[in-house]
Each structure stands twice: as C-alpha cells, then as structure tokens.
Amino acid sequence: MDQSIKKKRARGRLSREMIEDAAFEVIEREGLSGFSMRKLAAALGCEAMSIYHHFPSVAHLHEALVDRLIGALEIPDASLPWRQRMRIAIEDFRRIGRDHPAYSSFIVTYRMNSPTCLAWLNGIIGLFKDGGFDTELSARLFRTVGYYLMGAVLDENAGYSRGPSAVNTVSDEQLARDYPNVMAAGRFFGAAEFDKTFELGLDMVLDEMERLRDGANASQPSGKV
C-alpha cells in the first residue's frame, strides 16, 4: 500500500529534552564509558547523526546534562538557620550522585562554567558569606566543603562498594589474613553505611567552620605540625 514501511520519520520527533532524557537513561544503563552517540540514537530510534542537529557534539550534550542537574538545584531559603542551609545545599548535590550514580564521576570531574552552573556556584559561595565569612575564608571553606563532598559523591557512587577496578583481585581469605584492618573496616564501607559516615564527616567540617567563625580562639588542639 503505502510506498515505504519505514517512513515514520515524523519531522519534529526529536528535541533537546528528549535526547537529554534518553542520554541519562543510556548512561545509567550502559555506564559512563559504555555511553555512545550510536547507543543513544538506538534508544531514541534514530540515527546517530540526527542528534548532531540538536547538539553540535557530545561535549555540548554533556554540558546540557550537567546544566539540567545543577539547574534544578536551589539555594536554600535565607530565612533558615545558616547551618541548615548549608546542609540542605550539600545534600542536594549529594542527591544528584545518588540519582545518577553512573554519571556522578563525570559531574565530579566536570569544570562547571556555564551560566547555569555559575549561578549555582555563586549562590553557594554566597552561602558562606551569609555565614559571616569574609571573601577569602568563603573561598577556602567552599573548597574544603567541596573537596569533602566531591570525594564522598565519588566514593558513594563509583567507589569501593561497587567492586574493584583491579584486574587481579584478592580473595576474602587473603584479605582477612594479610589486610586485617581493611577487612575490619570493610563492614563500614558498604552502601548501608554511607549516610552515617557522610554525616559524621560533614558535622565535623560544619562544627569546625562554626568554631572558626565564632572566634578562632576557643579551639584548643591545632598542634600545628
């Protein structure tokens, strides 16, 4: 009857949003390194090159993905207590990792520079200023907290608990025999312990920041070595 069985091309079928949605799915399904334009196209039911009409390159696509994740974040309301605002902002970012585990290692190594991301960064640094820190301490403490957060997101989503990267792995018996500390600690390295471990370290950092702000004298130790 109709001249061609596959003429279901339907012009405006694709869109940036559709492609982004599919990209998130493919990345989580295939893993970050297993992601490719051809697999993405397959998921969309189109050819790889069709995607290039909407995104000039994979880099542009990735930028859009990061923008979507970061753009969805909000700076916690200024009426809330400072410490709570800080925690919310940090947990918001951490949740991105949990929601997109395969993509988390990309986000953590991504140098954000789009307007969307800069707006968020600007708000987060503003959070430190709101906490009473001057420009320098705001910048440095942003790094301190950021370092901790990036490392945590990395470990929780791409880390030890997901199995080893190594090719030659070590058996459990060997582990117990030769590396007892690792063996003993392993119990606290699983996904079930992530929250508690994260909270512990986060509270430490937040405590220390408040101490730093509320007079940097009360602090005893700091043996400075």
Name which of 22 and 141 has its Cβ closer to a copy of itself: 141
Minimum Å distance from CB 59 to DNA? Answer: 6
Q: Which residue has the tokens 């909000």?
A: 74
Q: Are 93 and 149 a contacting pair, CB within 8 Å?
A: yes
Q: Which region, judged by CB under 8 A, interacts with a copy of itself, from 8-16, 44-52, 95-103, 169-177?
A: 169-177
Task: By CB under 7 A, name the binding residues for DNA.
Answer: 4, 7, 9-14, 35-39, 41, 46-50, 52-54, 56-59
Let me know how long the chain is.
225
Q: Are 87 and 206 a contacting pair, CB within 8 Å?
A: yes
The number of beta carbons lying within 10 Å of the beta carbon of residue 35 is 22
Name which of 42 and 112 has its Cβ closer to DNA: 42
Asked if 10 touches a copy of itself (CB under 8 A), the answer is: no
Q: What is the DSSP letter of 198?
A: H
Asked if 143 touches a copy of itself (CB under 8 A), the answer is: yes
Binding mask 31-60 for a copy of itself (x = CB under 8 A): -------------------------xx-xx
Q: Give residue 50's Cα distance to chain centre.
A: 29
Phi (first) and psi of residue 40, to 5 degrees: -60, -45
Q: Are 16 and 64 a contacting pair, CB within 8 Å?
A: yes
Name which of 72 and 185 has its Cβ closer to a copy of itself: 185
Asked if 16 touches a copy of itself (CB under 8 A), the answer is: no
Name which of 36 and 135 has its Cβ closer to DNA: 36
